[in-house]
Chains A and B, each alone.
Chain A
Amino acid sequence: MRLKPWKYVVALWMTGVLIAGFLIPIPEIPILLESSRNLFLHVPMWFTMAVCFAAGFVYSIMYLNNPDPATDRKAESFTQIGLLFGICGLITGSLWARFTWGSWWTFAEPRMNLSALGMMIYVAYFVLRTAFDNPEKRAKIAAVFNVFAATTIPFLLYIIPRQLPSLHPGAEGNPAFSEITAPELRYIFYPAVVGFIALAFWLYDILYRYKEMKHQLEQQQA
């Protein structure tokens, strides 16, 4: 039994990104030092999360337009994988903050707190799903909630943090990624973003196929 070829490409690609990310010489930046390499890991977590949530958002709208239970399963799977990456982003950010800002968590940092709030909104999506026994009702209400949840993300992660003073790159006078970013970091950063999104798609694929089979088995038994 062989997997689809693109999955082997993802495995090889990510291995390459990991090796190159550790080994390329990077400029020494004060305070950050070697932790600059976290750019290849921590930032793609959020990009991947955003892509997964966007896909879940699209499938939720598609479900409301045409209530097919398979569309709901796709929306749920993408949202699960998105939340997984979002939590990884929060934890890696907290660790990085300890050694560059001096604190595991600071309530003075809007991006940190608002992204935690965003994750909680998505946790509520899964709690909401468990509240219904009727699958059609569950799918419909979950889809409506997901549309709300997805629309909060751009505000919580991009718009509001940019309006407030912040330690995190991406605020006033402290650009996230710009001409002051060392160019050699980009050679690994963009492939890492692509690799992590592809990896998330792989995980989604497994999760969705599992749900699909579970559904078919339940139908056979019924």
Chain B
Amino acid sequence: MNFLLIQAQEDSVAAVDTLTKSYSTDWKASEGFEQAGPLIQAAASYDLIFIVLGVSLIIWFVLLFFIIRVDKKVGRLENELKQSKKTVQHET
């Protein structure tokens, strides 16, 4: 893959080309997917597109969970309000 639009700044003091080389030897996982289990190997195939999909899905599911929760809370409040209105009408 070529990243023509992103270029490492060669003139800066802290120039480190992290795009073509691993940033440090601590980033061991970026090399040697061949030795990893079949699941990790499959997840790392196709230039890591599945990782982006995974991240997007996590965000989507968290947002979805939140939307459903708020919707249910609003629904519960609606029921409470309806109930309290009925009791008020009975009293008067």
User: Is the beta-carbon distance between B5 and A15 smaller than 8 angstroms?
Assistant: no
User: Is the beta-carbon distance between A18 and B56 smaller than 8 angstroms?
Assistant: yes
A residues adjacent to B (C-beta < 8 A)? 1, 3, 7, 11, 14-15, 18-19, 22-23, 34, 98-99, 102, 202-203, 205-206, 209-210, 213, 216-217, 220
Cα(A99)–Cα(B52), bound, Å: 18
Q: Does B60 contact A (CB under 8 A)?
A: yes
Q: Does B78 contact A (CB under 8 A)?
A: yes
User: Is the beta-carbon distance between B49 and A216 smaller than 8 angstroms?
Assistant: no
Q: Which of B68, B71, B72, B81 makes the CB contact (< 8 A) with A216?
A: B81
User: Is the beta-carbon distance between A1 and B72 smaller than 8 angstroms?
Assistant: yes
Cα(A22)–Cα(B82), bound, Å: 44
| Residues in B29-67 with C-beta less than 8 Å from chain A | 49-50, 52-53, 56-57, 60-61, 64, 67
**Which residues of A sit under 8 angstroms from B75, Cβ to Cβ?**
1, 3, 209
**Which residues of A sit under 8 angstroms from B71, Cβ to Cβ?**
3, 7, 202, 205-206
Query: Quick one: which of B56, B74, B81 has the most chain A CB within 10 A?
Result: B74
Residue of A nearest to B88 (CB): A220
User: Is the beta-carbon distance between A1 and B53 smaller than 8 angstroms?
Assistant: no
Query: Quick one: which of B57, B67, B81 has the most chain A CB within 10 A?
Result: B67
User: Is the beta-carbon distance between B60 and A206 smaller than 8 angstroms?
Assistant: no
Residue of B nearest to A14 (CB): B60
Q: Which of B52, B76, B88 makes the CB contact (< 8 A) with A1?
A: B76
Cα(A216)–Cα(B75), bound, Å: 14
Query: Quick one: which of A15, A22, A98 has the most chain B CB within 10 A?
Result: A22
CB distance from B1 to the nearest CB of A (A): 9
**Which residues of B sit under 8 angstroms from A19, Cβ to Cβ?**
53, 57
Q: Does B77 contact A (CB under 8 A)?
A: yes
Q: Which of B53, B67, B68, B76 makes the CB contact (< 8 A) with A22?
A: B53
User: Is the beta-carbon distance between B60 and A18 smaller than 8 angstroms?
Assistant: yes
Cα(A131)–Cα(B76), bound, Å: 32
**Shortest Cβ-Cβ A-B pairs, 10 listed:** A22-B53, A209-B74, A1-B72, A206-B71, A99-B5, A11-B64, A3-B71, A210-B74, A1-B75, A213-B77
